[in-house]
Structures are given as structure tokens and as C-alpha cells.
Amino acid sequence: MFKLSAAAVTLATAGHVLAHGGVLSYSWGGQWYQGFKPYNSPTGQVTIQREWDTYDPIQDATASTIACNDDGTALPSGQQLTGTVAAGTAITAY
């Protein structure tokens, strides 16, 4: 009976589940790249990802933070990495 009740609750609430999160690292072609860690200071972070400030979901399409959940602040020179990805290469985000 418990299994049936648990399954019923799961199915009944499945459409109401919301999730959000962020990517903390990437890999392709045998290379690993750190993503941005929003709850650490941006000072000293070297990353291939744009800065973002929180895991909170963006719920307003007109929000100033719509671009990567950030106000547009750029990381200092030398902290923003770039990478070359050949066409067809699989990229894994963690």
C-alpha cells in the first residue's frame, strides 16, 4: 500500500517540480576546464565560463540578470579562458 501511495504522490506532483543549478566544469577532447563557482569570490578564479552570481532561477524575462544570471560584470584580464572546439566534438558539462 505504501508503494502505491508513494507512486501516486510522485505522479501527482511531477508537473510541479522545479529545478535549477549551474555548471561547475566542462570537458572535451581530454581537456578539463573549470566553470565559475558563484559562491566563491571571483578574485583569482580562472574559468572558461562567464561569471554568474547565484543558483537562483531567473523567473522574469526582463530581469537585468537574464544573461547567465549576472549583471554583465566581466572577470579581470587573465581570468577568462577561451577554448577551441572542433565541429562535432562532444562537450560534457558537470
Per-residue pLDDT of the chain (94 residues; tens, 9 = 90+): 545 455 555 555 555 555 556 788 999 999 999 998 888 888 899 999 888 877 777 788 887 777 666 666 778 888 988 889 999 999 999 9
Distance CA 81, CA 93 (A): 16
pLDDT of residue 2: 46
Is the distance from CB of 24 to CB of 94 less than 8 angstroms? yes
The pLDDT of residue 61 is: 81
Strands 25-28 and 92-93: antiparallel
The DSSP bridge pattern shows strands 31-34 and 92-93 to be unpaired
